[in-house]
Every structure is written in C-alpha cells, then in structure tokens.
Amino acid sequence: MQGILTTGCEPPIPWIGGKTILLPVIKRIIPERKNKFLDVFGGGGSVSLSGKYAPLQIYNDYNPHLANFMRILKSRSEELIDKLTGAYNSDGTLNENFERTFFINSRDSFNACSNVFHKGDTWEKLFDANLKIQLKAASLAEKEHAWSIVLDAWRLYKERENDPELIDAVLFFYLMKCSYSATGTSWACKAVNRESMVRLINEASRMMQGITVENKDCIELIKLHDDPSTFVYCDPPYYMAEALYNGVPLFGDAKHIELHDTLLECKSDVLLSYNECPFIDELYSESKWYKMRLSRPHSMVLHRGSGAVYNEFLIANYDIYKLYNGDGQLTFLELFDDFNEKGRIIL
C-alpha cells in the first residue's frame, strides 16, 4: 500500500491556505504505521478531516476561534446547525419560520456578525460600531434597514454572553463562509446552500470524534509530542503572507527560523507545506531535507485572468519520493507521468 488512502470528508469552512488541492499528493507521502498524527497548523481542517492516519490524531491551531470552532464541531454540532439554520427557537420549540435562515439576508447578517465578532469585546465598542451603521443611513427606509442590522447585532451579543463558545463558533462559521477568500472581514456575494452546509458539518463532526483538539504554540506542541512513532505535519503561514491571518500574533522571520530549528532536531517524521521562495529554500538547505516542488492554480488571483499559478514546496526529513512512487523501484527521472521535465508536479 502506498501512502494513506483512507476516506475522510471535506472541511466545513473555507480557510486561507487550505490544502484541499494538494491532498492527493500529501496523502500519498504520509508514512504508515505511526502511533500519532500531529496536525500542527490545522487551519480549516482539510488535512485532519481527510482520513484516519494514526490511532491518535491531534488537530492544533493557535487561533482560538479555530480551535473553539473545532471543539464545537466535535461536541455540539446539532446546536451549531440549529443556530445557523434557525430550526429551533430559544425555548427549544420548532421554528415555524424554518426557511428564514441566517443566510437569507446574507449581507445584513454578515454585517451584524462582523460587528459582534470584531468589535464586540465590550459593550462600548459594539455601541460605537452600531451607531456608525445608523448614522450612515439617510432616508427613513435606510434607517429602518440599519436598525434591523443593529437589532441583530445586539441579539447576537446577548446570546454570546449566555453561551460564548457556541455563539463564537456561529459567528466564526458565518464570517468564513460568507467572506471574500475566507478573510472574515469583507463580505462576498456568493450563495450558501443550506443542505450542503448541514451535510458538511455533520460529516466533519463524525470525523472529529476521533481527533483531539489543541490550542497551543507550534513549538510547544511539537516538543511535547516528538517521538519516532509520531508523524508531524506542519502547514505554517506562508512566508510574506503571514499578515493574511487574523486573530494571532504575526508569524515573522524569527518564528519561521525557530520552527526550522525545532524540526531539524525532531525524532518524528516531519512533513511541511511552504510557498516556494528563496528564504524557505535556503532555510531548509540541510542535506537531510527532501523537497518536492509543485505548481497549482492561484485561487486568489484567478479573477484577474486564467493561467495564474502558485509554486509550493513539500519538505520532509524522510524520503517522500520513495513513498510517492509506491514500491520505490523507479528512479526520480522515470516518473514523467507525474513530474514535468524540471521535476515539478503540476496540479
């Protein structure tokens, strides 16, 4: 058997830097017979949710909203669905207006969620944010419209006071699902299918039952679990793209170097995903590293024209080419069905 081919599910939320398009390659080069699978920068969960890789699987992300969402997904998925679809009233009775979901008035709901999520740390901040919405309204109709958004924001704020973990997960899901490129900050005009949303949440919840969720610093987590029987997968913020990730301290040069130095000494099998650039190429220049180069469509700039590509690395401290080839009998230069003449996989 070559690589891990077990069936998983799609992630329920989009995420910047998600690895869905790279999964056919990643799954093929994950070593078998490991006791522990460590997804250090779990993100939207595309890798963790894609299969059963070891008896103990750990999803980790330093973003507290992501970690909270995954815990709610694992333990309270029915309540999450109820809040998103409007299936039940607060007293537990079935909502007669079931079809009026969060996503009917997408932009208005997005603005209400955004105000509470980004500016609802205190009552005063939320009051100022809601006041700005009202002051922008000119006509009576605009004022009535603005007031409905403000009322939604106040309702969500009060609900979050009573159940902060669940409502934070609801707000986070909504902002990821309805924002441009999953930034959580700017609304994107796109349809959200309720049946698909519920299916993805239910499938991901079933997968999460066998996964432990952590919210730790990457270095702390790696050192805690480093062992020859552990597989460590790292998908850190890509170099010079770190500012795209909200809610966590900036992952700067010093942190990239600290991660490299930690992984260099690891007893575990280690696999990294990175953008292909001189800084990372030079940082991981030791002879122990195997580097596989890939090119994929550049999803964030495709609206500017077709043909845009993004170059990435898969870097490992074990022979990923042998695993990719399966039986290890062919040489690298004989793999022309997968690699182009420059040794690059084109996805």
Render each residue's pLDDT in the chain as its tens digit; 347 residues: 344 445 789 999 999 888 888 999 999 999 999 999 999 999 999 999 999 999 999 999 999 999 999 999 999 999 999 888 865 555 656 565 554 456 655 788 888 899 999 998 888 998 898 888 888 888 888 888 888 889 889 999 999 999 999 999 999 998 998 888 788 888 877 777 778 888 999 999 999 999 999 999 999 999 999 999 999 999 999 998 878 777 778 899 999 999 999 999 999 999 999 999 999 999 999 999 999 998 877 665 544 455 677 889 999 999 999 998 885 444 444 443 565 545 567 66
> β-strands 269-275, 309-316: how paired?
antiparallel
pLDDT at position 325: 85
> Which residues fall within 8 angstroms of residue 238, CB to CB, at 6 or more apart?
17, 274, 275
Q: pTM of the prediction?
A: 0.86
In three-state secondary structure terms, 213 is: strand
**What pLDDT shows up at residue 244?**
76
The confidence score (pLDDT) of residue 133 equals: 86
Burial class (CB in 10 A: 0-12, 13-18, 19+), 216: middle
The closest alpha carbon to 231, from 268, 256, 260, belongs to 268
pLDDT of 259 reads 97
pLDDT of residue 183: 82
Alpha-carbon distance of 162 to 154, in angstroms, equals 13
Q: Are 16 and 40 in contact (CB under 8 A)?
A: no
